């Protein structure tokens, strides 16, 4: 069976660098190459064979709830590492045969993300441009549709039918679909049998997009029906046409077991289309990007104040908040890392002021705060947040813990005691507990690291075990070697023992993935999407 595992792994690592991995890998996958070298392909081929023969089952998904605006939550998940690599490789292999298919409807702009010719373009902007064009052409009635539980309500039996319809199913393709279905069915059994894709992995995005191609083909009779993932818009000349289009859309979705969100689905008319759908700052954002790409220092300096104003004014609950915050803060990060003078005190103050009320932006906020490696005020704020009653969301807590690992300040005994107590708290999310232990390893003393060792015996979670192994890298040599010898003697998880070998080979202590700092010279490929 032929798979491009390197491409699949690169895709997963890329998601980690962009901060899109809902449950980050302990070391951001830095251990893969030195630990496995060229063995990983054989390991994944063997895993595929085991799943094909039903001699082994996929591991459970790693799950977490991610905060949304208005303090609601979205269930996110991702497979265990090797299952994830295999999942991406299988879907990539199937996609390579589906993508050239002329039968795919051409109304999905998100589908363009998977075409080699347009994969690196911002296809959401193309979708937005098309909607603006239609509005300017006089289409003053628009259906905007929102789906209820898009990923979790995808029927796996329907998905299998869709895949089979797009593919010439030979023996090899049939095996790939069979193993893919085994993965998806095993994961869906944890929630609702035969329903749902893990929301997070890129492979799921492709499958979810293909799933809606059936709806696209049913709706293409409406000349101005277009879609980006589950963001569906239909522009019409008359109100009656819009009503008919909405009715047909609901029926088409129902045929594949999906439903609209009645509260968020609307028919807009006239000027409310422009006010609700189109970002009023789009021209300004495009102009700023053009200046940044020119690298003309004088012009760049002149637009800094505009970026700071956009950021300061972005803290409002509207459709464009995420776009403006992400756009401004990421570019301010690039300018700061490139040596331009900013009013960083004001930016940091605004982040701190909104940290609790905007938990869904924690990843973006933490990304900026970690630019200031030795800022004790930032560290004190982050620890105070962790200790407060506002520390409600596991995902936000993990982002804060990662930030503390990337900063470099001296912490006191009371901070370390708090980290130890939190790491031992079995009520906390396993990934949060792991990062608390890593903080003890980085900032604690040998006595405190010894306390972490005492937790190893009671842990069944390999994620936490690897964190404990990392946390004792700077423990006294004799105690550390005794602990390592004990693991080799009693640990039954082969992968944990292999990870121990990797840690022992490190020349310097390593506690986290150090995200590269964005500059004007590039790194656009790891920019968080401000649009979708």
Domain residues of the chain, as ranges?
Answer: 101-154+197-278, 412-511
Contact 131, 233 (CB under 8 A): yes
- 99 contact partners, CB below 8 Å, separation of at least 6: 114, 115
pLDDT at 111: 85
d(CA 107, CA 277): 19
Provide CB contacts within 8 A for 389, sequence distance 6+.
Answer: none
Write phi, then psi, for 496 (nearest 5 degrees).
-65, -40
pLDDT of residue 166: 86
High-pLDDT (> 70) share of the chain, %: 97
SS3 307: helix
pLDDT at site 105 = 86
3-class SS of residue 431:
helix
Both tokens assigned to 416: 């370390």
Query: Any idea of the CA torsion for 421, 424, 428, 430, to the nearest 10 degrees?
Result: 140
Residues facing residue 227 across a β-bridge: 108, 232
SS3 call for 490: helix
Residue in 94, 111, 217 with CA at minimum distance from that of residue 166: 94
What pLDDT was estimated at residue 313? 95
Q: For 521-532, give one letter per residue: b (16+ CB within 10 A) or e.
A: eebeebebebbe
Among positive and negative, which fits the CA dihedral 221, 227, 232, 236?
A: negative
Stretch 254-259: mean pLDDT, rounded? 94
Q: Name which of 211, 191, 230, 210 is nearest 77 in CA terms.
A: 191
Over residues 26-46, the mean pLDDT reads: 88
Q: Which stretches within 355-507 are classed as H helix?
A: 362-369, 376-387, 394-406, 413-424, 430-443, 446-456, 462-471, 477-490, 494-505
Candidates 454, 473, 474, 456; CA nearest to 465 is 456
Nearest to 444 by CA among 470, 481, 399, 411: 411
| Average pLDDT, integer, range 152-173 | 90
pLDDT value at position 118? 64
- State the sign of the Cα–Cα–Cα–Cα dihedral 308, 310, 311, 312: positive
**pLDDT at 170 > cutoff 80:** yes
pLDDT in the model for residue 525: 53
Would you place residue 192 in the very low, low, confident or very high pLDDT band (cuts 50, 70, 90)? confident
Query: What percent of the chain has a predicted confidence (pLDDT) above 90?
Result: 81
What is the per-residue pLDDT for 527?
60
Average pLDDT over residues 259-286: 94
For position 17, what pLDDT does the model report?
A: 87
In the structure encoding, which two tokens stand for residue 245, read together? 């289009």
Cβ pair 78, 61 in contact under 8 A: yes
Spatial strand order of the sheet with 225-228 comes to: 225-228, 231-236, 141-145, 266-269
Nearest to 400 by CA among 428, 60, 244, 426: 428
Q: Does the pLDDT value for residue 1 go beyond 70? A: no
Pairing of strands 266-269, 225-228: unpaired
Helix-helix angle 297-312:344-354, to 10 degrees: 20
CB atoms near residue 390 (< 10 Å): 14
Contact 76, 64 (CB under 8 A): yes
**Could you tell me if 96 and 505 are in contact, meaning their C-beta atoms sit under 8 angstroms apart?**
no
**CA-to-CA distance for 231 and 150, rounded, in angstroms?**
10
User: What is the C-alpha separation between 159 and 171, in angstroms, rounded?
Assistant: 19
Asked if 382 contacts 415 with a C-beta cutoff of 8 angstroms, the reply is no
Average pLDDT, whole number, for the chain? 92
The DSSP string of 43-90 is: HHHHHHHHHHTTSS-PPPPEEEEEE-GGG-EEEEEE--HHHHHHHHHH
Is residue 472 a contact partner of residue 423, using CB atoms and an 8 Å limit? no
pLDDT digits (tens, 9 = 90+) for 307-323: 999 999 999 877 899 99
0.85 surpassed by pTM: yes
Q: Please count the residues of the chain.
A: 532
- State how far the Cα of 253 lies from the Cα of 186, in Å rounded to an integer: 25
- Model confidence pLDDT, tens digit, residues 111-124: 878 877 666 678 89
Q: CA-to-CA distance for 286 and 77, rounded, in angstroms?
A: 34
Is 290 exposed, middle or buried (CB count within 10 Å of its CB: 0-12, 13-18, 19+)?
exposed
Residue pLDDT, tens place only, 56-102:
999 999 999 999 988 999 999 999 999 999 999 999 999 988 887 67
Q: Return the minimum-mean-pLDDT range out of 458-472, 476-490, 511-525.
A: 511-525
101-154+197-278: CATH topology is: Alpha-Beta Plaits (3.30.70)
């Amino acid at each position: 069976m032929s798979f491009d595992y390197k491409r699949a792994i690169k895709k997963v690592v890329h998601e980690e660098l962009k901060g899109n991995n809902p449950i980050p890998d302990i070391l951001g996958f830095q251990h893969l190459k030195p630990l496995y070298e060229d063995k990983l392909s054989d390991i994944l081929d063997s895993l595929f064979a085991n799943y094909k023969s039903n001699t082994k089952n996929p591991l459970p998904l790693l799950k977490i709830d991610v905060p949304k605006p208005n303090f609601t939550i979205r269930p996110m998940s991702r497979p265990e590492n090797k299952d994830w690599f295999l999942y991406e490789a299988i879907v990539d292999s199937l996609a390579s045969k589906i993508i050239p298919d002329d039968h795919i409807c051409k109304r999905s702009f998100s589908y363009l993300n998977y075409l080699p010719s347009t994969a690196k373009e911002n296809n959401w902007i193309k979708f937005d441009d098309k909607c603006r064009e239609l509005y300017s052409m006089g289409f003053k009635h628009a259906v905007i549709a929102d789906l209820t539980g898009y990923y979790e309500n995808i029927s796996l039996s329907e998905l299998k039918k869709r895949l089979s319809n797009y593919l010439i199913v030979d023996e090899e393709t049939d095996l790939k679909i069979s193993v893919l279905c085994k993965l998806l069915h095993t994961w869906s059994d944890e929630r609702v049998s035969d329903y749902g894709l893990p929301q997070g992995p890129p492979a799921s995005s492709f499958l979810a997009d293909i799933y809606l191609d059936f709806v696209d083909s049913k709706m293409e009779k409406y000349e101005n029906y277009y879609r980006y993932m589950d963001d569906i818009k239909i522009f019409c000349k008359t109100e009656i046409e819009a009503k008919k289009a909405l009715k047909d859309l609901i029926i088409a979705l129902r045929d594949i077991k999906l439903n609209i969100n009645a509260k968020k689905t609307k028919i807009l008319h006239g000027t409310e289309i422009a006010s609700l759908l189109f970002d009023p700052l789009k021209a300004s954002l495009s102009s700023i990007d053009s200046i940044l790409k020119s690298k003309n220092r004088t012009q760049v300096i002149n637009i800094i104040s505009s970026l700071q104003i956009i950021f300061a004014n972005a803290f409002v609950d509207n459709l464009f908040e995420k776009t403006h915050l992400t756009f401004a803060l990421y570019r301010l990060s690039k300018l700061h890392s490139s040596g331009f003078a900013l009013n960083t005190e004001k930016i940091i103050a605004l982040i701190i002021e909104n940290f609790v009320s905007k938990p869904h932006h924690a990843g973006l906020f933490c990304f900026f705060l970690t630019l200031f490696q030795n800022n004790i005020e930032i560290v004190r704020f982050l620890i105070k947040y962790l200790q407060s009653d506002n520390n409600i969301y596991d995902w936000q807590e993990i982002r804060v813990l990662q930030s503390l690992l990337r900063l470099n300040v001296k912490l006191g005994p009371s901070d370390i005691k708090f980290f130890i107590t939190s790491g031992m708290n079995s009520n906390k999310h396993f990934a949060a507990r792991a990062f608390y232990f890593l903080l003890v390893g980085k900032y604690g003393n040998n006595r405190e690291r010894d306390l972490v060792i005492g937790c190893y015996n009671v842990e069944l979670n390999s994620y936490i075990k690897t964190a404990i192994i990392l946390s004792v890298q700077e423990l006294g040599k004799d105690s550390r070697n005794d602990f390592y010898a004990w693991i080799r003697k009693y640990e039954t998880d082969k992968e944990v023992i292999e990870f121990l070998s990797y840690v022992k080979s490190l020349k310097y202590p390593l506690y986290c993935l150090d995200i590269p700092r964005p500059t004007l010279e590039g790194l656009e490929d790891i920019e968080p999407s401000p649009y979708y």
